[in-house]
Amino acid sequence: MQFLDSPPPFLFFTGKGGVGKTSIACATALHLVSLGRKVLLVSTDPASNVGQVFGQTIGNRITEIAGVPGLCALEIDPQAAAAAYREKIAGPVRGVLPDSVVRGIEEQLSGACTTEIAAFDEFTALLTDRAIRTAHDHVVFDTAPTGHTIRLLQLPGAWTGFLEAGKGDASCLGPLAGLDKQRDRYGRAVEALADPTQTRLVLVARAQDSALGEVARTHGELDAIGLCDQYLVVNGVMPADGAEGDAVAGAIRRREQAALRDRPDVLRHLPIDEVSLKPFDMVGLEALRTLFAPSIPAADLPATGDLAAFAAPRLSSLVDAIAADGPGLVMLMGKGGVGKTTLAAAIAVALAERGHPVHLSTSDPAAHLAETLDGSLANLTVGRIDPHVESERYRRQVLETRGGALDAQGRALLEEDLRSPCTEEIAVFQAFSRVIGRADAEFVVMDTAPTGHTLLLLDATGAYHREAQRQAKGSLAPALTPLMRLRDGRRTKVILVTLAETTPILEATELQADLRRAGIEPWAWIVNDCVAAAVPTSALLRRRARNEIAAIGRLSAIGVARRAIVPLQLAEPTGIDGLSGLSGAA
């Protein structure tokens, strides 16, 4: 593995959920210890399972790993850090300001940016603490901060004064309130991150177009701010011998090799390592020590039981229930790379084929949707929302209104605030809100939707309520805001999309809690690209399928009553026929 050559003191592993960051980080820590180094493994991942991997409780304290002299671990709980951080800011004004104002402050501090900045606040001490450097040769971090967070911390000026003056818009600067005292420590931490003699960034991905596209964006964002010592690790690659004699495994192998061959140009100059797919979960020391080894020959894998008994409700059952309730809004939500666009198109095609008028709207690039549909269908219209165009429109609007009277320092803060992920989400939802009214007369299927935090933040500003009242002036009909419509379970069906793996399911569970906080109850879940439901014959995939079945079985424990399973497809489900097949009963 090239990324293990001459490693510096700090190694950061980053990538989207479910790609195997934790497994790669844990295996790296074990490898370094085997060389006689003293290692501290730190997780800042909200879905951290480092303790589960090593089979012991770790938590928010430095803990020795049993059976591995020289290895310690620490789990920074981002949610707990964010809760403490919120209380530090909102606590002093509770009972002093009106409850509605305090709730608004707490909601502003409830988003992903607060969680990330609070976690960064915790691990900057590890980057700058001399005692940590003395006690350990390497500190291995499972999850790195985004470029957006680092840019925020690099900005000059007083964040607190900027916010108190009411110059900031409702997005991501709120979490920075009160951090001026830590500026010197943050500066030293950011310097360490940008120094290749101290820090190496390892981008972890799967051999999939979406995952490689996501890691390419991360690479560009971090490279632009000076974090240049980057390596690419592609995890879970189907080995050639594991794909022999099985149509499902062969299809996976062909797709992965095509994705690697056509990976984004910005990734081609990076050193790249491939980690082969293993038939077992990365739990326990024995499993971790085999992660970087060659693939296990298929003949050496033990046999598995029959998978035919795996009964799975198919997508057609959800489409039937949607159609039975009549026109309304159908919104698909989930992390990137789980297949929301394809499933939204499949549901729209299935409803149109049943004779219902359908409008499909997506924030994915139009070319991707056109490629997915590859044709036209009676009763189906398609809308295009370009996130870049909508975000730029929103940024210009805010800069012209809020930024007109700002000095250079204030404008720099506002411009960085408007580069946050929240800005795109708000801007896209503004565009979505313009087509929601169509759901009174037809089915409107939307690919992607805002989080509960963004909805509550928008609702707290009153902007949508005021706009609705303005548009309803002179009308006898009561104003109906987008948030009110989304809370109406009779008119709106929110569907969460995930994969049959531990981390994506945990992320979807957190999204469900986020929506419930906004008063929105998800209607159903879809588990996409399920290997077990495709009934593979290869020994490697059959053992992987057993793990999927166990993961799906946990959905009942978290209150998922209505669900559908979509099997992994042998061919990409594109075109009307391919999409129709996804939602078919067979």
Domain extent listing, the chain: 2-203+229-235+281-292, 317-582
Q: Give the pLDDT of residue 526.
A: 96
pLDDT at 408: 78
> Among the options 23, 218, 276, 498, which is catalytic?
23
Catalytic residue check, 28: no
Among 45, 169, 364, 447, the active-site one is 45
Cβ atoms < 10 Å from Cβ of 497: 27
Residues in the chain where the model's pLDDT stays below 70: 46-48, 107-108, 110-113, 144-183, 295-311, 364-372, 374-375, 420-422, 449-481, 584-586
Give the pairing of strands 10-14 and 138-142: parallel
Active site residue 21: yes
Residue 38 annotated in active site:
no
556 part of the active site? no
pLDDT score recorded for residue 146: 65
What string of DSSP letters covers 451-502?
A: -HHHHHHHHHHTHHHHHHHHHHTT-SSPP--HHHHHH-TTTEEEEEEEESSH
Residue 384 is encoded by which pair of tokens? 């295009």
Provide the pLDDT for residue 85.
74
User: Is domain 2-203+229-235+281-292 classified as CATH 3.40.190.10?
Assistant: no
Whether residue 23 lies in the annotated active site: yes
**Quick check: is 128 catalytic?**
no
Domains 2-203+229-235+281-292 and 317-582 share a fold: yes
CB-count exposure of residue 388 (10 Å: 0-12, 13-18, 19+): exposed
The encoded tokens of residue 8 equal 């510096």
Q: Which among 16, 17, 22, 363 is annotated as catalytic? A: 22
20 catalytically annotated: yes
Q: What is the pLDDT of residue 578?
A: 83
pLDDT in tens, 103-116: 777 766 766 667 77
| pLDDT tens digits for range 240-250 | 888 888 899 99
Q: Is the pTM of this model over 0.85?
A: no
CB-based contact 137:9 (threshold 8 Å): yes
Identify whether the C-beta of residue 279 lies closer than 8 Å to the C-beta of residue 301.
Answer: yes
Kindly name the residue from 21, 335, 340, 493 that is annotated as catalytic: 21
The CATH number, out of the four listed (3.40.50.300, 3.30.590.20, 3.30.565.10, 3.40.50.620), of the domain defined by the range 317-582: 3.40.50.300
